[in-house]
Structure 1
Amino acid sequence: DTTKQPALRLSRTKNLHFAKAPFPGFSAEALIRESDTAARIRSDEFALILLDSGNHSAKVVAKKILNSLLSPFMINNQQFSIGSSIGIAIYPQDGSDSDTLLQQADRAMYFAKNNNKAYAFCTPELDEEGKRRLEIEQGLRKALIENNKTGPVELTLVYQSKHYLHDNSIQGYEVLIRWQHPELGIISPSEFIPLAEQTGLIVDLSRWVITQASLQALQWEKDGIKFKNLAIKISAIELINFELAQNIISQIDATGAQREWIEIEMTESAVMKMPDVSIKFIEDLVNAGVLVIIDSFGTGHSSISYLKTLPASYLKTEVSQ
């Protein structure tokens, strides 16, 4: 009925990384009317369409969703709490088609997330920042696809040597990722890694890094180049995947590389966010022959006594200035 000119509200939530099934206690359908629509766009992205609604109605629904996510829930006997950010775009003022409205809702969502707000409406001021974020997200998705093909690549790995202080001999290498965007130029990891974590692309990105680093280690071994091991950082967000350790082991094995050539590096803060899950993850890797490094140890709230429970291979501490 075009005479009603219904308002379209699109809300997208983030940090809901449970691809196989919805988590207990949350049902978007229970929070909206029969005339509204709830959809899962990707594993960690959801959209709502609220017909014949005003700003107030959108706020009410957003608050209901946020409140429903406050209660902790259990998965595999582990307790989790979920945070979420919601962006709201309005038809027709924020866009006249679904693609534009989704992009505008994305911009509002990222604004809410970056400014510690529960939800935000789309505004003209968000356009420039949102356009770049969207361009980087889309570019990263494309780069990950293209890097798995033959031809020019945008993503590359560089290897930074680690040295013993007493004789300056090489102890190993840290694996660093670089991105040369065809139009935006060099994009700093400090910009695209957080975005990858927020969009869930960090999973594919880490998988690519582990595979490429393992292949490089294998090639160096064949060429007689001594490198000892390669250290690869993983994100705290990835720890929510209970099969992460086995996936990493399988990736290394699939390349033909030796497990002891690879070090998996994670920060102390990542460990402390989910200590039980982290310890199990570290144990699985170490027992399989993969080295594990705890980075920035001593900068968080853990104590030296906590060392007894960490089966890590090495610790890295921050030097105070």
Structure 2
Amino acid sequence: MNLHLVERQQVEASLRRALDHEEFTLHYQAKVNLDTGMITGAEALLRWRHPEWGMVAPARFIPVAEATGLILPIGRWVLGEACKQAKRWLDLGLPIGAIAVNISAIQLRQEDFVSRVKAILHQTGLPGRHLQLEITESVLMADAAHNGTVLQQLKDIGVQWAVDDFGTGYSSLSYLSQFPIDVLKIDHSFVSSIETGPHDGIIASAVIGMGNNLDLCVVAEGVETWAQVEFLRQRHCDEAQGFLFSHPIPSDAFAKLLVAGPPRLAA
């Protein structure tokens, strides 16, 4: 317990100076349309290069940031940086589609969250339709009435909403028609079971079918094999994201990927 407490204190102290010392950066992972093979967007993922520890795993510092409230200034930086980068790509004529940013429960509960998002879009010049905000099922359902209002206010200016890690939270399906959701992301654990589970891909198939029936875009996370791609395509999954197409990479490398395109899908 003492070791855990010391570790947390060290991480917290380092996080407090990380923004001022520009130790954070964003990497981007492509999302690919499974019919056309074209990149449809990217997820912005936070990376922290500590001057002594090197690259710090998100699992090590994100929980500390959320517990201490530091996720608020960090989250604002991530959102602003992702929107600025997306606008740069658009200005270069690169087909970025939508940039996806993960939003925590603490951020969503802030009274000024909507106004902050609008301000960032205004300051960066990024049209709302090019921004996609990702939240988990549990975050969405924590305060359904409040969150429904927040989602709709940003939906009204074109911002998209995605439910991340779908199937791992409340697993209650009735809420999907009650919120202005655009995207369901199938959790990577269900994608990996396509080839390894005793009932290969049953949950992934169910999520895809439900998303199709509700006219939602379905994105499979953690795709690593062409067998998984074929399974997903046969069941009309819309998009995929994973190491098969691209690892999370810095912005300059991602710009080259936008030009060259990901590995080609078989016809």
Q: What do residues 29-71 of structure 1 show as CA deviations (whole Å, max 9, x unaligned)?
A: xxxxxxxxxxxxxxxxxxxxxxxxxxxxxxxxxxxxxxxxxxx
Say yes or no: does 1:233 pair with 2:233: no
Which residue in 1 is equivalent to 2:4? 129
Q: What are the residue-to-residue correspondences of 1:35-184 with 2, within 5 Å? A: 126=2, 128-147=3-22, 154-184=23-53
Which residue in 1 is equivalent to 2:196? none
Which residue in 1 is equivalent to 2:76? 207
Q: Percent identity?
A: 37
Say yes or no: does 1:275 pair with 2:115: no
Work out whether residues 170 and 227 of structure 1, in 8 Å CA contact, stay in contact via their aligned partners in 2.
yes
Work out whether residues 253 and 259 of structure 1, in 8 Å CA contact, stay in contact via their aligned partners in 2.
no
Deviation (angstroms), 1:302: 4.6
Q: What do residues 248-303 of structure 1 show as CA deviations (whole Å, max 9, x unaligned)?
A: 11112111222211111001111111111111111111012111111123333353
Work out whether residues 75 and 107 of structure 2, in 8 Å CA contact, stay in contact via their aligned partners in 1.
no
What letter corresponds to residue 145 of structure 1 in structure 2?
A: D
Say yes or no: does 1:189 pair with 2:189: no
Deviation (angstroms), 1:315: 1.7
> TM-score, normalized by length of structure 2?
0.67
What letter corresponds to residue 47 of structure 2 in structure 1?
A: R
Deviation (angstroms), 1:305: 2.5
Q: What do residues 58-104 of structure 1 show as CA deviations (whole Å, max 9, x unaligned)?
A: xxxxxxxxxxxxxxxxxxxxxxxxxxxxxxxxxxxxxxxxxxxxxxx
Measure the CA separation in 1 of the matches of 2:19 and 2:67.
Answer: 16
Looking at secondary structure, tell me which structure has more helix per residue: 2
Which residue in 1 is equivalent to 2:113? 244
What letter corresponds to residue 20 of structure 2 in structure 1?
A: I
Give SS of 1:288's match.
Answer: coil
Measure the CA separation in 1 of the matches of 2:179 and 2:124.
Answer: 28
Aligned residue pairs total 190
Which residue in 2 is equivalent to 1:263? 132
Measure the CA separation in 2 of the matches of 1:135 and 1:304.
Answer: 41
What letter corresponds to residue 8 of structure 2 in structure 1?
A: R
Deviation (angstroms), 1:196: 0.3
Deviation (angstroms), 1:317: 2.6
- The RMSD of aligned alpha carbons is 1.5
Work out whether residues 210 and 252 of structure 1, in 8 Å CA contact, stay in contact via their aligned partners in 2.
no
Measure the CA separation in 2 of the matches of 1:311 and 1:292.
Answer: 7
Name whichever of 304-313 and 180-189 sits farther off: 304-313
Larger radius of gyration: 1
Give SS of 2:122's match.
Answer: helix
Which residue in 1 is equivalent to 2:86? 217
What letter corresponds to residue 25 of structure 2 in structure 1?
A: T
Measure the CA separation in 2 of the matches of 1:170 and 1:181.
Answer: 31
Q: What do residues 205-226 of structure 1 show as CA deviations (whole Å, max 9, x unaligned)?
A: 1100011011101111121211
Measure the CA separation in 1 of the matches of 2:37 and 2:92.
Answer: 23
Measure the CA separation in 1 of the matches of 2:83 and 2:46.
Answer: 14
Higher relative contact order (CA 8 A, sep 6+): 2
Measure the CA separation in 2 of the matches of 1:253 and 1:227.
Answer: 18
Measure the CA separation in 2 of the matches of 1:241 and 1:302.
Answer: 25
Give SS of 1:146's match.
Answer: coil
